[in-house]
Every structure is written in structure tokens, then in C-alpha cells.
Amino acid sequence: MVCWVAERARAARNVDRVIVATDSQQIIDTVQSSGIEAVLTDPDHTSGTDRVAEVAATIPEAQIIVNVQGDEPMISPETIERAVDVMTSEISKTNGAGIVTTWEPIESLDDLQNPDLVKVVLDENENAVYFSRSPIPYPRDAAKRYDLKLFRKHTGLYVYRRDVLLEFTKWPQSQLEKIEALEQLRALERGVKIKVIEACTASTGVDTVEDLERVRTLIEA
């Protein structure tokens, strides 16, 4: 699955280098045998962002760092490209976003109520207001409570401005981050602007064995 994700990232036209960052020697061996670059990182990292930052710190010329999480085998190269393009535009702004990430529509009530699928609320400029494992926003009107058009699913792609990524890893975990187990809340609490754009196509994150089987079926099809 990790190799599949790496190949999706390689297919993005504006990504110059793809590196798998992991603390697993088994993953290193598997990835390198497929001809993909990999780096063995500190096993004591508390988040994937810390792991990405360790590698990014050794590449000073990289001003934009893309974190494609290894459990997103269906991610579209076009989605990666669009997110990188948006970050390139944001860097040129005085008060631009420090992070760009993506959302997708929620397609079922099961997904809406699934705590493994993170929900995000945006402002009118596509900036994140909050991320949660709970369905947000909460419609007061009961008739709208299950209107899926009101909700957005956050997906596992992050594009960082270099300085924001390296600074992020120096901050202690925030209270909200600990409660929700969502590291992006640390950035929000520190005042980092997070731009959230719609993904070009749907993806399926793998959080459970059932997710894995569903993805295998999709790929075989």
C-alpha cells in the first residue's frame, strides 16, 4: 500500500522528489526493492508530521513539502498537483496560508458518524475553522441534521510551507489536539492559516481491515 501511495505521488507533475519516511525497516526494505527512495526516521516521533519534518530539515532547498499519508492509496495525482499549485500561490501573499489540505464530500450517514473520518468546517475563503471526529457543524434544525451536503470529510494530504512545518514540530501538543487526537488542531491553535480545497476525485483512507478490503476491491476493478 505504501508503494502504491508513493507511485501516486510520483505521478504528480509538480512534485520533484518522493521519499518514504518511516521507522519500519520492513517498509524501508519493501519500498527500496521497488526503486522508491526511503529514509529511516526516529522511532520516537509522536506524529507523521514530525517524521516528515525530520526528513525535510535535511533538504534545505525544499520550500514546499507535501505530506501524502501512507494510508491514502486512492489519492489522485491531480489532487496533489492542485494543492501544490495553491500553496505556490499562497507563498506569494503577505498573509497566505501556511498549510494547504483537502476535503471531499461525505456520501453516507455511516461516514458522517464514523470517528475515523475527520470532518472539517471552512470559512467563506476556504480556510479551516475547525477539524473534528464528530459531525460538524451541528444543525439545530432537526430536518437538516442528516443533510450530507452540509458536511465535508478531511483527507490525508498536507502541503506545508517549509518554515511552518519546521516550526510546527517545536510546539507542544495543544489541548484540543490531545482531546480529538488530530495534530492539525495544534496549527490552528497557534494561528496558522490552513487552506482547505476540494479534492479532484474521491479517495478512500485505510483505517481498518474493512477499509483495506474495500480499497483492494476498487483497485482490482
DSSP-assigned letter for residue 33: H
Spatial distance between the Cα atoms of 31 and 119, rounded to a whole number of angstroms:
31
- Find, among 39, 17, 52, 205, the residue nearest to 214 by Cα: 205
Separation of alpha carbons 76 and 53, rounded Å? 23
Residue 63: which of 166, 155, 157 has the closest Cα? 166
Confidence of residue 38 (pLDDT cuts 50, 70, 90): very high
- Cell numbers placing 131: 477539524
Query: What pLDDT is recorded for position 130?
Result: 98
Cell triple for 122: 471552512
> How large a percentage of the chain has pLDDT more than 70?
100
201-212 pLDDT per residue, tens: 888 788 889 889
Q: Is the pLDDT of residue 163 over 90?
A: yes
In this model, does residue 195 exceed pLDDT 90? yes
Judged against a pLDDT cut of 80, whether residue 55 lies above it is answered with yes
Which three three-digit cell numbers place residue 38? 526511503
Task: Give the Cβ contact number of residue 220 at 10 Å.
Answer: 6
pLDDT, average across residues 123-143: 93
**Which tops the pLDDT comparison, 164 or 145?**
164
Domain 2-207 has CATH 3.90.550.10: yes
Give the model's pLDDT for residue 46: 81
Pairing between β-strand 37-40 and β-strand 19-22 as defined by DSSP bridges? parallel
- The whole-angstrom separation of Cα 111 and Cα 143 is 19
What does the pLDDT look like over 136-161, one tens digit per residue?
999 888 778 889 999 999 988 999 99
